[in-house]
Copies of this chain bind each other. A is one copy, B any other.
Amino acid sequence: MKATVHITLKNGVLDPQGKAIEHALKTLGFDSVAGARQGKYIELDLDESDPARAAAQVNAMCEKLLANTVIENYQVEIAG
């Protein structure tokens, strides 16, 4: 079973990486860019056949390791 996790900075948290991307794109002539924010994307392979149990496990992984829940949000999707 595959799971994907998106980890993004919460609104209001400064995102220097995103600012750097925005600035670099503008320097390259992409003037339509009004903002950029960078997050993480993690694909997990799980030896688990029950989607509900897989989702519970991945949520626990996010809380314990993958995301810093003080400043980051995470979103888990389970794909067969």
Mark A residues whose CB is within 8 Å of B: 6-8, 18, 21, 24-25, 28, 30-48, 54, 57, 60-61, 64-66
Q: Which residues of B contact A40 (CB under 8 A)?
A: 38-41
Shortest CB–CB separation between residue A60 and chain B, in angstroms?
8
| Contact B37 A42, beta carbon cutoff 8 Å | yes
| Contact B43 A34, beta carbon cutoff 8 Å | no
| Contact B61 A45, beta carbon cutoff 8 Å | no
Task: Give Cα A28 to B61, complex, Å.
Answer: 9
Which B residue's beta carbon lies closest to that of A15? B43
| Contact B34 A47, beta carbon cutoff 8 Å | yes
Given contacts A21-B66, A30-B57, A61-B25, contact A35 B42 (CB under 8 A): no
